[in-house]
Amino acid sequence: MTENNTISIEKIVKNFGNKRQRLMDIVREVQNLYGHISNESAHRIADALGIPFVEVIDMVSFYSFLTRTPRGSSVVRLSTCVVDKMHGMDKVAEAFEKEVGVPFGSTSSDGEITLEYTPCIGMCDQVPAILVNHRVMTNVTPADVPGIVKALRKGESLGTQDEDTTRPDAQIDMNLRNPGPVIFAPMDHGAALREALNMTPEEVIDTMTKSRLRGRGGAGFPTGMKWNFCRKAKGTDHYVICNADEGEPGTFKDRVILTETPDLVFEGMTIAGYALGAHEGLFYLRAEYQYLYSYLQQVLARRRHLGLLGRNIGGKEGFDFDIRIQLGAGAYICGEESSLIESLEGKRGAPRDRPPFPVTKGYMDQPSSVNNVETYCCAARILEKGADWFAKLGTKDSTGTKLFSVSGDCAKPGVYELEFGISISDLLRKVGAEDAQAVQVGGPSGNCIAPKDFGRRLCFEDLSTGGSVIVFGPQRDMLEVVREFTEFFIEESCGWCVPCRVGTTLLLKKLDKVLEGRGTKYELAELEDLGNTVKTTSRCGLGQTAANPILTTLKNFRHLYDAKIKDEDYIPIFRWDTALADGKAIAGREPVWEGEEL
Ligand SMILES: Cc1cc2nc3c(=O)[nH]c(=O)nc-3n(C[C@H](O)[C@H](O)[C@H](O)COP(=O)(O)O)c2cc1C
Ligand code: SF4
């Protein structure tokens, strides 16, 4: 590293105010400059921030978009979501490997191109999809691959969206199939905020409570209650946090909101700022959506110009509020709110113990309200149109509309804004998938529903979802899908607690035994037992739902498992050679049995 590089790193750290909590931005910028975070860079960053070197390495090694070793000038990340696989991802992978000349997980010998797999990138309605550095390409076919690789080698444009601010969606279809009255109705910028500023902060929160709005991130926590807890919590600052991590496979509705109506989200966050007495909003954007970053910055700049962000907003003396966008770096667990806060503080995204909850001790240990993108949109519309208007939509316990991102085996994949309470069969008719064999509601962590239950309704009282609805046609092997989902959780577990870290791997081993035709009823009972243990003893929502693919299919698709197992209760065979294989490989010798000479 040269003298200049050293100066650059220190300058980067200084540009972020020498603040420890900006480590994510610092590291991202250093990587942009040098391609990776070498030990030397990590030392420099640590010295400049006055923190231990291991804290930098700990953080860098956690995120898949950060790297300690050099990668190619172009990094091609192929989305491995189950929906990509259903639509030819494997063939695209083969084509890349042939064209680049190396397998996925490595870099071409000329150092130009790195091939990597990555979990769902939020483009399930137009798969297979890839990220080339931070640009998105969708509907990729094997025939496209030679042209892409050639262009990358020549350093030519791919003809995809620039990080051009005016058209972030140039090559990405919106597939907005059913715009509804809450999220996608035309917006009068500032109207909802004006309504809010005519009220006291307490009245704004009462309006949320009256609307019976529940969070759209999946768990459905009442927003009015969350804001009330947060407002009342004591702290030197309060924070409004928007969760735009959108990592659940099959979910892409926030992507469409952020492209079509980002002002509504920012307006909702500003209203929350007023209600909670906050001065700063933090918008956590997943790294996969980096192509939206400049566009969103431009929207924020426009709002500042219009006086909708900044000081004394709307002429309200003392109401100062602004929003900062924080880019993530590739980790599904960072969608969990306490991990997201850790990540915002520039740390690895490991979930926190709760209580205390973020509403009392969140970002920088201050009261913070974390809400989903769609929740903030609903909040703004409620202020504009009234709590009663909103509460008349949907069902008793699930008021309003919901965005469903529908993908898989259907004629019209895309985003549908529909009132809560719609049945699965009605939704399947709308999306052109009447022959579905199964519907995965809520992504891998949700529920796999069989046709006998297609009369069930999408709402918090029955089947809830953060947005993901994946349809599987009659041709799909559902147990293979279960396997994919279980692998996804193994990959994404943060590794902190044993039930999740070890339990998910054990689940996969047992599942494989069944899939290979070596299982009996005993293995099915064990799968259920172990699945419930992982569910009840894991530390956070990831582990608590990681067994759902197995548990819900054991319940709703039992016949598929029964067809795989042997008609015996238990096969009491223990294979020494298999059980000891790993140990022998590590020790590099054969086992010595009792009584044997060493
Ligand atoms: C593993 C995991 C991933 C999550 N991912 C997201 C996400 O991408 N977006 C989101 O809004 N909520 C996600 N959540 C839920 C959040 O923890 C949190 O409940 C939500 O952001 C609160 O917002 P809401 O009240 O508006 O629903 C996730 C939870 C878990 C356990
Ligand atoms: S449940 Fe999984 S993701 Fe959550 S803390 Fe434990 S290991 Fe980490």
Q: 519 near 499, Cβ under 8 Å?
A: no
Structure confidence at residue 167 (pLDDT):
58
Classify residue 23 by burial, with Cβ atoms within 10 Å: 0-12, 13-18, 19+: buried
Q: 428 near 439, Cβ under 8 Å?
A: yes
- The tokens of 310 are what? 């900044």
Q: Is the pLDDT of residue 169 over 90?
A: no
Assign 161 a pLDDT band (cuts: 50, 70, 90): very low
For the chain, the distance separating the N- and C-terminal CA atoms, rounded to the nearest angstrom, is 52
Cross-strand pairs, 117:
78
Decide: 547 in ligand 2 pocket, CB within 6 A. no
Pocket test for ligand 2, best of 338, 539, 545 (most atoms within 8 A of CB): 539
Residue nearest atom 28 in ligand 1 by C-alpha distance: 336
Q: Is the pLDDT of residue 4 over 60?
A: no
- The tokens of 130 are what? 């890839």
Q: Is the pLDDT of residue 448 over 90?
A: yes
Decide: 371 in ligand 1 pocket, CB within 6 A. yes
Structure confidence at residue 250 (pLDDT):
97
* Ligand 2, atom nearest to 333 Cα: 3
* Ligand 1, atom nearest to 226 Cα: 25
| Radius of gyration from C-alpha coordinates of the chain | 25
Decide: 221 in ligand 1 pocket, CB within 6 A. yes
pTM above 0.85, yes or no: yes
Q: Is the pLDDT of residue 381 over 50?
A: yes
Q: How far apart are CA 116 and CA 287, in angstroms?
A: 15
Pocket test for ligand 2, best of 62, 248, 333, 504 (most atoms within 8 A of CB): 333
By percentage, how much of the chain surpasses pLDDT 90? Answer: 89
Q: How far apart are CA 385 and CA 393, in angstroms?
A: 12
Q: Is the pLDDT of residue 388 over 90?
A: yes
Structure confidence at residue 597 (pLDDT):
63
Q: Is the pLDDT of residue 200 over 80?
A: yes
Give the pLDDT mean for 94-109.
97
For residues 541-579, one letter each, b for 16 or more C-beta atoms within 10 angstroms of the residue's C-beta and e for the rest, the string is bbbbbbbbbbbbbbebbeebbeebbeeeeeeeeeeeeee
pLDDT digits (tens, 9 = 90+) for 238-293: 999 999 999 999 999 999 999 999 999 999 999 999 999 999 999 999 999 999 99
Q: How far apart are CA 366 and CA 530, in angstroms?
A: 38
- The tokens of 500 are what? 């999740």
Decide: 527 in ligand 1 pocket, CB within 6 A. no
Structure confidence at residue 160 (pLDDT):
47
Assign 578 a pLDDT band (cuts: 50, 70, 90): confident
- The tokens of 5 are what? 């590089």
pLDDT digits (tens, 9 = 90+) for 117-131: 999 999 999 999 999
Structure confidence at residue 577 (pLDDT):
78
Say how many Å lie between the CA of residue 337 and the centre of ligand 1. 6
Decide: 399 in ligand 2 pocket, CB within 6 A. no
Q: How far apart are CA 6 and CA 21, in angstroms?
A: 21
Assign 579 a pLDDT band (cuts: 50, 70, 90): confident
Assign 162 a pLDDT band (cuts: 50, 70, 90): very low
pLDDT digits (tens, 9 = 90+) for 13-63: 999 999 999 999 999 999 999 999 999 999 999 999 999 999 999 999 999
Give the pLDDT mean for 412-422.
98
Structure confidence at residue 18 (pLDDT):
97
Average of per-residue pLDDT values in the chain:
94
pLDDT digits (tens, 9 = 90+) for 488-544: 999 999 999 999 999 999 999 999 999 999 999 999 999 999 999 999 999 999 999
Structure confidence at residue 596 (pLDDT):
67
Pocket test for ligand 1, best of 183, 209, 336 (most atoms within 8 A of CB): 336
Distances (CA, A) of 261 to 135, 185, 215, 231: 21, 9, 19, 27
Q: Please provide residue 170's backbone torsions phi and psi, each rounded to the nearest 5 degrees.
A: -50, -45
Structure confidence at residue 435 (pLDDT):
97
Decide: 108 in ligand 2 pocket, CB within 6 A. no
Structure confidence at residue 3 (pLDDT):
45
Q: 301 near 263, Cβ under 8 Å?
A: no
Assign 312 a pLDDT band (cuts: 50, 70, 90): very high
Q: Give the DSSP per-residue string, 9-65.
A: HHHHHHHTTT-GGGHHHHHHHHHHHHSS--HHHHHHHHHHHT--HHHHHHHHTT-TT
* Amino acid residing at 185: A
List the one residue out of 497, 588, 582 whose CA is nearest residue 543: 497
DSSP tag of 80: -
Give the pLDDT mean for 343-351.
97
Assign 553 a pLDDT band (cuts: 50, 70, 90): very high
Q: In this structure, are strands 401-408 and 468-472 parallel, antiparallel, or unpaired? A: parallel
Q: How far apart are CA 268 and CA 151, in angstroms?
A: 42
Say how many Å lie between the CA of residue 357 and the centre of ligand 1. 14
Pocket test for ligand 2, best of 245, 500, 506, 535 (most atoms within 8 A of CB): 500
Decide: 216 in ligand 1 pocket, CB within 6 A. yes
Q: How far apart are CA 142 and CA 469, in angstroms?
A: 27
* Ligand 2, atom nearest to 495 Cα: 7
